[in-house]
């Protein structure tokens, strides 16, 4: 290889080395630039956020607080709204006060916004008389109703059938009423209810028990005299275990007073003891000038018509009729949507008949109405009165349970816990036992 060739090869090698060095330097510079860029990005992300002017921050927080307050008010308003319901499989909005009739071959489901459902058997008829945030009053005109009531802290449902009334706080049961034969039945599948009416003083009926009763209509009651029969037995027992109730209590027993205290949940008690009869117009101090014309209507649960008949004679009737009929007048006013008149009738009963056992019953109803209206302090006073006057009366368990709810609603935690302990001690399987247990365990 000549000298010139060697020199040219050397120059080429030097040029290649220089080019490679330049590429390495360029790659190094690019990498360095990339690292610096990423470092600046990280530094920017970790820097303190830009502070807005103080007035703008206050405005923003005020706006958020206002929205939160509005949200709370809206939620509270929704919680205080009365229940709604639908009727039939088409889920049509249910009308209050309108008679709903099940077709001959198809049951009629009523579904309420709290999850409660009532199913009217084919051929039956019922109407929702009133709705509350925690329950409803349902009048069963005829037929069989299958009920599944969702239990809540202050659930309050009432089913009315002829002269009978079933009070529910959360349970499953079947009940029925035949106006043509004046026969009533109740079978409790789960939980417990309180049943009353005609010859039945208020009694607790527990799961696995049933009640059958009959009562003469008001039209022929005067001719035939008061008569009723009822039985309560475990659902699995034989028919021979049922017992008939004697219609007429012993003469020494005060009119309007049950022969014994309430049946306590968990006992295999029955309705087999003699119970009070609806009093005559002259009972408990009322005048004996004949039955007022509104009374038969009220006994047939035609409350609106009964109050129309009473009309502007309401105050006069309050001063004239018996204690038993004052209770009936109060119920008529309440179910006709006249709450103030219902309160007046109950307070008049207590003023006119302070020593009557029905005065304590009136106190209970006044407490219940106050509680349903959200007036917990007033409810506490009336329920305490009811328990003080009738500590072992037929509504003692229900009064203590409602008192527990009222204490809780009023934010009186210590009193609620004490009432809960008392409730569990007396009624360990009562309808408010779960609520009482949760309060005790707090």
- Residue 94 belongs to a domain with what CATH number? 2.60.120.1440
Q: Are residues 225 and 352 in the same domain?
A: no
Q: Are residues 97 and 214 in the same domain?
A: yes
Q: Are residues 234 and 289 in the same domain?
A: no
- State the CATH number of the domain containing residue 383: 1.25.40.10
Q: Are residues 399 and 327 in the same domain?
A: yes
CB within 8 A of 69, min separation 6: which ones? none
Q: Are residues 292 and 150 in the same domain?
A: no
Q: Are residues 212 and 293 in the same domain?
A: no
- The answer to whether 192 and 173 are in contact (CB under 8 A) is no
Range of the domain at 183: 84-241
Q: Are residues 236 and 330 in the same domain?
A: no
Point out the domain boundary residue: 191, 209, 241: 241
Q: Are residues 237 and 288 in the same domain?
A: no
pLDDT tens digits in sequence order for the chain, 442 residues long:
555 555 555 565 555 445 555 554 555 555 666 666 666 666 655 555 556 566 556 565 666 656 655 555 555 455 568 899 999 887 788 888 888 999 888 999 999 998 999 999 999 999 998 888 888 989 898 899 999 998 876 778 889 887 788 988 778 899 998 888 888 889 998 888 888 877 676 778 888 888 888 876 543 433 333 333 334 433 333 333 332 222 233 233 223 323 223 332 333 222 222 233 333 444 454 444 578 999 998 888 788 899 999 999 999 999 999 998 999 999 899 888 898 999 999 999 999 999 998 999 999 999 988 988 889 999 999 999 999 998 988 788 889 988 998 998 899 999 999 999 999 999 888 778 888 898 998 7
In a domain, 235, yes or no: yes
Q: Are residues 222 and 369 in the same domain?
A: no
Point out the domain boundary residue: 209, 241, 273: 241
Number of domains in the chain: 2
Other C-beta atoms within 10 Å of 108: how many? 22
Q: Are residues 178 and 116 in the same domain?
A: yes
Q: Are residues 299 and 395 in the same domain?
A: yes
In a domain, 208, yes or no: yes
Its pTM stands at 0.51
In a domain, 289, yes or no: yes
């Amino acid at each position: 290889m000549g000298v010139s060739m060697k020199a040219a090869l050397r120059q080429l090698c030097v040029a290649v080395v220089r080019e490679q060095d330049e590429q390495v330097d360029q790659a190094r510079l690019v990498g360095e630039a990339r690292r610096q860029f990423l470092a600046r990005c990280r530094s920017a992300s970790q820097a303190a956020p830009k502070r807005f002017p103080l007035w703008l921050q206050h405005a923003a927080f005020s706006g958020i607080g206002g929205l939160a307050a509005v949200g709370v008010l809206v939620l509270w308003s929704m919680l205080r709204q009365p229940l709604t319901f639908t009727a039939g499989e088409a889920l049509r909005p249910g009308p209050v006060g309108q008679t709903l009739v099940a077709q001959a071959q198809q049951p009629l489901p009523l579904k309420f916004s709290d999850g409660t459902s009532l199913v009217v058997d084919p051929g039956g008829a019922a109407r929702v008389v009133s709705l509350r945030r925690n329950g409803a009053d349902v009048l069963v005109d005829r037929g069989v109703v299958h009920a599944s009531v969702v239990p809540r802290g202050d659930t309050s449902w009432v089913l009315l059938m002829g002269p009978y009334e079933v009070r529910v706080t959360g349970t499953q049961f079947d009940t029925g009423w035949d106006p043509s034969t004046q026969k009533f039945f109740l079978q409790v599948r789960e939980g417990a209810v309180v049943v009353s009416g005609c010859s039945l003083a208020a009694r607790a009926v527990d799961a696995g028990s049933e009640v059958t009763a009959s009562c003469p209509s008001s039209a022929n009651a005067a001719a035939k005299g008061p008569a009723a029969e009822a039985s309560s037995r475990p659902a699995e027992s034989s028919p021979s275990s049922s017992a008939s109730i004697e219609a007429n209590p012993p003469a020494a027993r005060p009119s309007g007073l049950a022969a014994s205290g309430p049946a306590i949940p968990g006992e295999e008690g029955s309705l087999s003891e003699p119970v009070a009869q609806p009093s005559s117009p002259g009972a408990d101090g009322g005048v004996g000038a004949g039955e007022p014309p509104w009374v038969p209507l009220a006994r047939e649960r035609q409350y609106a018509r009964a109050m129309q008949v009473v009309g502007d004679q309401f105050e006069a009737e309050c001063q004239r009729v018996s204690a038993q009929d004052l209770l009936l007048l109060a119920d008529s006013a309440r179910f006709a949507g006249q709450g103030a008149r219902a309160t007046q009738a109950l307070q008049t009963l207590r003023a006119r008949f302070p020593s009557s056992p029905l005065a304590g019953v009136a106190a209970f109803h006044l407490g219940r109405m106050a509680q349903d209206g959200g007036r917990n302090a007033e409810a506490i006073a009336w329920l305490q009165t009811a328990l003080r006057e009738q500590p072992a009366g037929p509504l003692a368990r229900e009064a203590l349970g409602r008192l527990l709810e009222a204490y809780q609603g009023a934010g009186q935690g210590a009193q609620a816990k004490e009432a809960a302990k008392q409730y569990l001690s007396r009624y360990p399987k009562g309808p408010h036992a779960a609520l009482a247990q949760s309060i005790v365990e707090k």
